[in-house]
Amino acid sequence: MDQPLPNLPELSLPRIVVIGAGFAGLKLARKLKNKNYQVILLDKNNYHQFQPLFYQVATAGLEPSAISFPLRKVFHNTPNVTFRMAEAQRIDQSQNRLYTDIGYIEYDYLILAMGADTNYFGMKNIMENSIPMKSVSEALFIRNKIISNYERAINIADIEKRKALMNVVIVGGGPTGVELAGAMAELRNEVFPKDYPQLNFHNMKVVLIEAGPSLLAGMSATSGLKAKEYLESLKVEIMLQTAVEDYDGLNVIIKR
């Protein structure tokens, strides 16, 4: 929008605009509370999402409210920090101006803290058919999709088609992939057989695919080895040094 953002406090302080209220943006804004700066924090949501626990929402271990925190409450009694729910659209560096969907805002300093998005490596089919997990809504979609698949599987006589609905393939052996694989295996081993006694969960595979030579590559070798051993004890199938080439919504094509 080509109108200035309305109702911003007029403070005679250098203005810092922070785009994104994830871990980095929120931490910075809190560090600058009551300092000699005016801080404008922008995010497309009015709450902070604790990303490490998305897998718990996806597997019904936690409700979304348990990992979502209202941003405005964080900045009670901090007159130099203002939050606005907005989506950044473009930056005009010549005028030090940020344009959003609710108006533009001028800044002295601009901080980009938008976080990460799912990398599909240019693979269109995977982008269209797979399910990312970078937000509470996506985690809830995974939860609902799993339940929907099992409800459908009960009504399918063909065993092979039933297996396809029950199997779960997770791509990426970082912390989130490892946690999600473990949670899915525990559900398969302990919970789903009670909820769906008509289904044979020995037919359900939980597969974790990692392109690198080990799990938890950003951590110590011992951590990766322990994670692998634990997941294997839960009967998770782990495929290392394996890349996913394609996914059509039913079949995962891999390359070793």
Catalytic center residues: 179
Angle ∠(107,113,116) on CA atoms, nearest 5:
150
Residue 7: φ, ψ to 5°: 60, 35
Rounded Cα distance, 73 and 235, in Å: 43
8 A C-beta contact, residue 65 and residue 49:
no
Rounded Cα distance, 233 and 123, in Å: 33
Buried b (16+ CB within 10 A) or exposed e, 194-229: eebeebebeebebbbbbbeebbbeeeeeebbeebbe
Rounded Cα distance, 59 and 142, in Å: 8
Whole-number Cα distances in Å, 18 to 75, 98, 108: 14, 11, 11
SS3 43: strand
Sheet holding 206-209, edge to edge: 168-171, 206-209, 237-239
Angle ∠(216,22,52) on CA atoms, nearest 5:
35
- Cα four-point dihedral sign 171, 174, 180, 183: positive
SS3 133: coil
